[in-house]
Structure 1
Amino acid sequence: MTALTRFPRFFVTSPSPCPYLPGRQERKIFTELSGPHAGELNDALGRIGFRRSQSVAYRPSCVGCNACLSVRVVASEFRPNATQRKLIRRHGDLEITACRPWATEEQFQLLRNYLASRHPGGGMTQMDESDYSDMVEQSPVGTYVIEYREPAERGGALVAACITDQQADGLSMIYSFFDADNAERPGLGNLVIMDHIVRARNAGLPYVYLGYWVKGSARMAYKTRYQPMEVLGPSGWRRLEAEDAAAAPARMPVRELA
């Protein structure tokens, strides 16, 4: 293992407005993923709460707030509830393919429509095709684009997709997007998560990493539907209990940076 892998250099971003909790500032710590051991480094950092974006691994490092918590589903123990089983049956005709990380115009148009519907005004709405290509293709680790399509007899249209990393201990859902206005295909985002849980279990991988769950953010509440779930805290990974999900955002006394 190289010195770069063992002792990566970390950097901290300047504070900026938090996109999840009004009135708060976010800050991130990050490092570069490069070289022949990028996958090993990404795996190690993933186990302590980092996420990947292109060739960078990052995690929140906010002053006075620790509301963002890494969460992962225990794939082998997940059992869909009645609503989730109904959703799986409803979309059982979709054709699902794990594709190499190669951006397509069809994916980009689906992403644009998704952002316009679900995240209007968000920073990602400014992405162009080149930005999207970088998002998909600039990966130094094992990455796939999982595509979900209508059956061929219905035209084969792309209705959902997910950029997914395969790590040593699980699948990490980097970013998913779908046809949010398709009345005939409700719950596509939930379906994508459940499909990843099945994929992880079939591959013998213990976890599906869902990124950060933000206590107090309604936009992130959906992640707690997939139980059992583990959350990363100061003493390591532990099961997320019902009372945790209902708790108010954690906050520490605000202090100025030195």
Structure 2
Amino acid sequence: MKPATRARYATRIGQVLDYLYDHLDQEPDLYRLADIACLSPYHFHRIYRALMGESVAQTVRRARIHLASGELTRSNRPLPDVAQRAGYGSLAAFSRAFQQQFGTSPGRFRNHRLLALNPQESNMYPVTIRECPAFHIVALAHQGNYMKIGEAFDKLMLKCRSEGWLDESTRWLGFYYDDPATTPENELRSHAAASVSHTIMVEPPFEAMTIPAARCAVLRHTGPYSTLHDAYHWLFGHWLPQSGEQPAISPFEDYLNDPGSTPQQQLLTDIYLPLVPLAR
């Protein structure tokens, strides 16, 4: 596929992603999606998979389960309501899909959590301090619920693939600037980002940035992204006060494996907390 053709198709598939994420509670209609992409259903299916690396059904299932897991950890809505809001016609169908992804039922996940946190345990998460070199990223801003940043990551991945920016060293990163406990949900600011090997030129809404070198505390989290807030609570509520360190800027996350092919309980995320430099 020629670069110009790939870029044109990427723009069309980006419009499809807009529609999918706005209608996660509905079953995707192949003919409607193909029409949005200005493609025949035959070609749409193949081009979508080529650019996204997965089928439409896989994208929708991944997004639905991710949002549902966030609701299970942050709300007290009845399970049938969570299932319906996630686009499942019945609690049984939702439970089967959830079990496949998380290895446990939605009710058990809510009640026990895969990574239950006892704030008194000082060794709950491993933390190391590293000197982190500067690196370049391309990023896409997201505003609102952090659990909905997946759409920005999908659009960013689509852009990076269409431009040929991905290689074996690419890191997928999330930058989060506000505390959900004190900031209204619709005002939360974040960036989905991918590392690139050199400075690149991009057009809005994408942004090219350089992350400066910093001394960072790095916490390793194992488990679903929806339980990352447990790690943040421990990092800021337990480790930081006892460390004698001071944070310099907002933390960011480095996602170490593929959420599309990795069991949720095996997902690895490093939380980087840049620290104030040591006095000389």
**TM-score, reference length from structure 1:** 0.25
**Which structure dedicates a bigger proportion of its chain to strand?**
1
Which protein has the larger Cα radius of gyration, Structure 1 or Structure 2? 2
**Which structure dedicates a bigger proportion of its chain to helix?**
2
**TM-score, reference length from structure 2:** 0.24
